[in-house]
Amino acid sequence: MRKLAFAGLAAITAAVLTTVGVAAADPPPSSLVQVPSFGANPGALAMYTYTPAGLETGRPVVVALHGCTQSAADYYAHSGWPELADRWRFEVVFPQQSTANNSLKCFNWFSTADDTRGNGEAASIRSMVDKAIADHGSDRARVFVTGLSAGGGMTADLLAAYPDVFAAGGINAGLPAQCATSVTEATNCQQNDQRLTPAQWASKVKAQYPGYGGPWPRVAIWQGTADYTVYPVNGTELRDQWTAVHGVSQTPTSTQSLPGGTTLTNYGGKVQLYSIAGMGHGTAVDPGTGTTQCGSTGAYFLAGICSSYYTGVFFGLDNGSSPTSVPPTTTTTTAAPAGTCVSASNYAHTQAGRAHQSAGQTYANGSNQAMGLWNTFTVHALRETSPGYWVLADGQC
């Protein structure tokens, strides 16, 4: 087994998405099954699968990647994907990281030795897909990938490295593809606006498979506005990256209001951004038996809306098609106009929940734009562009 060297636990914790969770008890073998041999495994990962009883041939495959310190069993137990697999008839592959590869069991989304085509963990996951297809006669045209945190970062990298394998992806509290190539860069990506244009972001994707001329994967992006592990700016950067890859505008074609304070912004049916007001770092779930409900709460599985359900609909798993919107139970509107604009001191903004402070400096909630010293004397205007997402608007109020 490979063992990556790092500069120290503190650096790792800051840089590689510390989604510390409580490990769930391993499900019985009849539910979550380890596949001991699945072909080439240069990333030294473990493969687990959930296969509904009597699964027919020609069905889809979903790859679901856990967050740091978690396991395949955690994602199986809480994410809702197994119950959706039973309902919609598809197989779920749960790759599992080890402490030999990363001391916090994070997928190494920031390492070119692991997150690029034909290499390391990315190549191992590709082997798992091939194994699942061979075992169950699955549909190669309907292979999807999703993940949380470090798993979300690896999801973006896999979509860039293997656009010929994955038809679409769901990124939960993740980062843009190829945002970082080192631990130091990973910390910067998590917390700060990289100030790249959409075209620059897109070039990072297209460089992963030079000469590729086929269709690019569609992307669903999930981001909490109060996430201060992977800051909300990452959701915006992912939106910029994948709209540019698809050649569609960063101006939304529609918005929808969903449960749990969620705003869904659609970009030409190719990219969807789900912004969850007030949610911190984690995968959104909605326990219950309703049509749109699934999952269970746990460490970094946060109640509000079942992201797996809506991601599955975006994938087309509910009816075998590739829809461009969520079911008609939601309310569709045209793109929302700019929201409330407030001018106040940095201190007042933090007290009102429009900003937060760290080490004496103030940052706008959502965009994480720097606002200067945290005091009653420094005054800025902030505009709310979506629920809980504030941007600097000096001179505009």
Give the DSSP letter string of 120-151. HHHHHHHHHHHHHHHHHT--TTSEEEEEETHH
What the block records as the tokens of 278 is 């007030």
pLDDT-derived band at 89 (thresholds 50, 70, 90) equals very high
Q: What is the mean pLDDT of residues 162-181?
A: 98
Which one, of 145, 119, 120, 121, lies nearest residue 132 by Cα?
145
Q: What is the DSSP letter of 365?
A: T
CA distance 19 to 299: 8
CB atoms near residue 37 (< 10 Å): 8
pLDDT of residue 239: 98
Examine the pLDDT at 13 and tell me if it is beyond 90: no
pLDDT-derived band at 328 (thresholds 50, 70, 90) equals very low
Examine the pLDDT at 102 and tell me if it is beyond 90: yes
388 touches 355 (CB < 8 A): no
Examine the pLDDT at 366 and tell me if it is beyond 60: yes
Q: What is the mean pLDDT of residues 279-301?
A: 96
Catalytic residue positions? Answer: 149
Query: What percent of the chain is predicted at pLDDT more than 70?
Result: 86
Q: What is the mean pLDDT of residues 315-322?
A: 74
Q: What is the pLDDT of residues 110-135, one digit of tens each?
A: 999 999 999 999 999 999 999 999 99
Examine the pLDDT at 4 and tell me if it is beyond 70: no
Place of tokens 């030795």: 113
Question: What are the angstrom distances between the C-alpha of 108 and each of 150, 191, 215, 251?
Answer: 7, 18, 26, 32
Question: What are the angstrom distances between the C-alpha of 373 and each of 159, 273, 360?
Answer: 39, 31, 6
Q: What is the pLDDT of residues 236-272, one digit of tens each?
A: 999 999 999 999 999 999 999 999 999 999 999 999 9
Q: What is the pLDDT of residues 26-70, one digit of tens each?
A: 434 349 999 999 999 999 999 999 999 999 999 999 999 999 999
- Laid out side by side, the sheet with 379-386 consists of 341-345, 379-386, 389-392
Query: What percent of the chain is predicted at pLDDT more than 90?
Result: 73
List 91's β-bridge partners, or say none: 61
251 touches 240 (CB < 8 A): no
Q: What is the mean pLDDT of residues 153-159?
A: 98
User: 8-17, 38-47, 200-209, 221-230 — which is least confidently predicted?
Assistant: 8-17
Which one, of 284, 315, 278, lies nearest residue 297 by Cα?
284
45 touches 125 (CB < 8 A): yes
Arithmetic mean of pLDDT over the chain:
87
CATH of region 33-315, choose from 3.40.50.2000, 1.10.600.10, 3.30.420.40, 3.40.50.1820? 3.40.50.1820
CATH 3.40.50.1820 domain position(s) in the chain: 33-315
Half-sphere exposure of 325 (CA within 13 A, CB side): 16
Q: What is the mean pLDDT of residues 174-182?
A: 97
pLDDT-derived band at 350 (thresholds 50, 70, 90) equals confident
List 391's β-bridge partners, or say none: 383
pLDDT-derived band at 359 (thresholds 50, 70, 90) equals low
What the block records as the tokens of 288 is 């219950």
List 283's β-bridge partners, or say none: 301
Q: What is the mean pLDDT of residues 185-204?
A: 97
Q: What are phi and psi of 183, to 5 degrees?
A: -60, -40
End-to-end CA distance of the chain: 58
